[in-house]
């Protein structure tokens, strides 16, 4: 039997769950994992990341199809993806990125009824023996610590402009 300790999960397990979409909750915008709030979309750390620095760009409106985004939402989401990549580059120095949208359950969307863009920093060799042999993902840094590193850089790019 495989056993892995994840004591931080107990808070989630014991917490009262609200009905509805996790991205639409009123309190998600004040949540500790939100890095930036724009006009039509926000940037949030993935609570269950593939690797440290896994971010999501999410429109405030509850939409599941790209074609339903307004031009302003599309523009801001793409601009925030640019900022996310710049911030991750400045802070974490990845060697590459995966960026994309999983549309529908068949495409791997965990939350398929609220569109969001994933930005995942990658390093050569970041898939280690634990993932390959043990079928366990190891996240090397605490989410709050990653948030502390990234948050000031969103201020730098978003408040002062992209260029």
Which are the catalytic amino acids?
116
Nearest partner of 53 among 13, 96, 19, judged by Cα: 96
Spatial separation of the C-alpha atoms in residues 146 and 133, rounded to whole Å: 27
Question: Hey, what are 161's tokens?
Answer: 């402009």
Cα–Cα distances in angstroms (integers) from residue 28 to residues 23, 36, 43, 47, in the given order: 7, 12, 11, 12
Residue pair 71/118 in contact (Cβ under 8 Å)? The answer is no
Spatial separation of the C-alpha atoms in residues 155 and 148, rounded to whole Å: 12
- Collapsing DSSP to helix, strand or coil, 147 comes out as helix
Question: Hey, what are 13's tokens?
Answer: 């397990």
H or E, element range at 119: strand 117-122
């Amino acid at each position: 039997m495989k056993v892995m300790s994840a004591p931080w999960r107990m808070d989630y397990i014991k917490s009262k769950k609200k009905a509805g979409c996790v991205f639409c909750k009123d309190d998600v915008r004040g949540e500790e994992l939100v890095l930036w709030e724009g006009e039509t979309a926000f940037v949030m750390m993935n609570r269950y990341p593939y690797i440290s620095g896994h971010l999501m760009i999410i429109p405030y409106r509850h939409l599941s199809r790209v074609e339903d985004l307004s031009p302003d939402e599309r523009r801001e989401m793409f601009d925030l993806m640019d900022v996310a990549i710049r911030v991750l580059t400045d802070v974490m120095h990845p060697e590459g990125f995966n960026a994309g949208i999983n549309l529908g359950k068949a495409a791997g969307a965990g939350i398929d009824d609220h569109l969001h863009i994933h930005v995942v920093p990658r390093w050569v060799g970041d898939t280690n023996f634990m993932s390959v042999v043990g079928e366990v993902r190891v996240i090397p840094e605490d989410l709050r610590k990653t948030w502390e590193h990234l948050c000031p850089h969103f201020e730098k790019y978003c408040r002062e402009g992209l260029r």
